[in-house]
Amino acid sequence: MQEELKKIMKRTIKYISAISFLMVRLSYAQFIPDKNTASFSIGPSFPIGNFSSTDPSNNLSGYAVSGISANLSFNHKLNNQLGLIAMLYGQRNGINTNILSDQLDKSFFDPQFISSSSGSPYSPTGSQEVYYNWNIENKYWYLESVMLGATEELTFENNHKLSFVAKVLIGAAYAQLPTLNGQSITDTSYAVFYQKGASAFGFSYLLSGGMNYKLSGKLYLKLDVFYFGTSRLNFKNITQNFASTYGGLRMPGVYTLSNSNLTVFSESSTTGQNKQPFGSINIVAGVGLIL
């Protein structure tokens, strides 16, 4: 993983250096040293593409639902329009446990169940073991990124307080695949599965358009709509365990394998890896300070 991270960081630094050099060349004659701003924004995050897919046959399905994103940015203006920007970015999205539970209820259970990066523990063509009434604990995807890039700000002629801002950023991303805990409870059977969480590094990018509105000589409000995406992040050493039993419970209401009338019927453990690309549309609002 260290070698892979070094390659990603080298590639990211190369891209950032090229952008920085180009921006300085374009604006050296109009350098404005006192136009620095810092801002914070927060808002909803809507996963799209493979990240939001719930297709069990797609091994890139992320089963992600709407969440929240936030960013802290520092912008250095090179002239009246162009600038350089550094951003710390964070995003959290939940798992679509309702659809995952419904699909599990309708599917044969396959003990060798690494079939998607969200850890979907079933296969429609798996073994002839069927379990119902699945309950999956709510967990979250976490994304963090450090990015650098360029901005362009255009002020409206009739309203100098209002401006349009476009941004392009690239950087390095860190993601955490969630742990998953599930239980299937019926009158005659009890099954559990557990997926250990994992983490991965990759390449990230952001494309944004938004508006700034000056409140005073120091403060401004901002609204941005942007796409955040990553390369396929490779999660390694994902361990998943499954166990089930039939025969009902010795003590009613106590759902554990040891409380079953019969011994454990099926038990398995697998370890593997998955790749997951991330993509989301984000709408954030915030406040900025002119330094």
Q: What is the mean pLDDT of residues 195-215?
A: 93
- Report the run of H or E that residue 78 belongs to, with start and end: none
pLDDT at 110: 46
Spell out where the chain has E strands: 36-47, 64-77, 82-95, 134-136, 140-156, 159-177, 180-185, 189-195, 198-214, 219-230, 233-246, 266-276, 279-290
Q: Is the pTM of this model over 0.75?
A: yes
Worst-scoring range by mean pLDDT, 13-17, 191-195, 274-278? 13-17
Worst-scoring range by mean pLDDT, 119-133, 147-161, 223-237? 119-133
pLDDT at 102: 80
CA distances 56 to 3, 62, 120, 123, 280, Å, are: 32, 10, 7, 8, 20
- What is the number of structural domains in the chain? 1
Burial 200-215 (b: 16+ CB within 10 A, else e): bbbbbbbebebbbebe
Q: What is the mean pLDDT of residues 121-134?
A: 54
Q: How far is it, in rounded angstroms, from Cα 38 to Cα 216?
A: 15
CB 263 within 8 A of CB 245: yes
The pLDDT-based confidence of 267 (bands split at 50, 70, 90) is low
Structural domain of 118: 2-290
The pLDDT-based confidence of 257 (bands split at 50, 70, 90) is low
- 106 has pLDDT over 80: no
Read off the CATH number of the domain in which 63 is found: 2.40.160.20
